[in-house]
Amino acid sequence: MPNDSISRGQIFVVDDDPSMRQSISSVLEQEGYEVICFADGDALLSSARDCIPACIFLEVSLPGKSGIDILKKLRAEDYPAPVFVTSGQGDIPMAVDAIRNGASDFIEKPVTGNEIVGRVKAVVEALSPGSNGSNPSRIFSLHLPGREPLTRRERDVLVHLAEGASNKEIAQRLGLSSRTVEGHRAGIMRKAGVRSAVELVRLVLSEPHDC
């Protein structure tokens, strides 16, 4: 933590990789946060009974209970701290599962220090008094405000994509070829301004619902 600084609050980092714990901790401590690290989910749950951090970084692949299992337990108990689910092997179903179970965001590793800080600031500000932040587990919107409108077929593909379906599964459901689905997905990603399908899912699941 910087000298003569006042702590901006605690952040829990749960990861079985010591180097990853150290990497995330160093970045956050430079921003003035007090970071407490855990190597497994049970250790986190034990400490979570006594205090509520500003947010939690929770790795999916943990010894014993998985990060998703820990997330479900926290949400079942209405634990208020926002949770960032992290993974070095993320895919669309995993991202969907994490966000639908209450994660504030899904972060693919490797992640830069600036991105970590940016995510934390965004969540903390959204939850601060007077903010208009909404429930992190809200249902995704089919609209991408400020971006080029999706075609009807792109919207159809997006619905199934956000449910975690593969290109092959989407093709079967919509009566299309896998190549056609790939083309629609590429168009959606271009309009959304994202580089990966997981990033796309994170975006649409985080947009306010628009009926």
As a whole number of angstroms, the distance between CA 200 and CA 11 comes to 26
Q: Do 152-206 and 10-126 have the same topology in CATH?
A: no
Residue 41 is predicted with a pLDDT of 95
- Give the CATH fold of the 152-206 domain: Arc Repressor Mutant, subunit A (1.10.10)
Residue 25 is predicted with a pLDDT of 95
The CA-based angle 148-170-85, given to 5 degrees, is 75
Highest-confidence segment of 53-67, 100-114, 125-139, 177-191: 53-67
Boundaries of every domain in the chain: 10-126, 152-206
What integer is the mean pLDDT of 15-20?
95
What's the chain look like in SS3?
CCCCCCCCCEEEEECCCHHHHHHHHHHHHHCCCEEEEECCHHHHHHHHCCCCCCEEEEECCCCCCCHHHHHHHHHHCCCCCCEEEEECCCCHHHHHHHHHCCCCEEEECCCCHHHHHHHHHHHHHHCCCCCCCCCCCCCCCCCCCCCCCCCHHHHHHHHHHCCCCCHHHHHHHHCCCHHHHHHHHHHHHHHHCCCCHHHHHHHHHHCCCCC
pLDDT digits (tens, 9 = 90+) for 75-116: 888 888 899 999 988 788 898 899 889 898 899 898 899 989
From the list 109, 120, 96, 188, the residue with the least C-alpha distance to 148 is 188
Q: Which residues pair with 56 in a beta bridge?
A: 12, 83
Higher pLDDT, 90 or 71: 71
- Whether 136 has a pLDDT exceeding 50, the answer reads no
Q: List the CATH code of the domain at 10-126.
A: 3.40.50.2300
Q: What are phi and psi of 106, to 5 degrees?
A: -120, 125
Residue 155 is predicted with a pLDDT of 83
The CA-based angle 113-119-124, given to 5 degrees, is 125
pLDDT digits (tens, 9 = 90+) for 108-122: 898 899 989 988 888
**Can the peptide bond before residue 110 be classed as cis, meaning omega within 30 degrees of 0?**
yes
Residue 89 is predicted with a pLDDT of 84
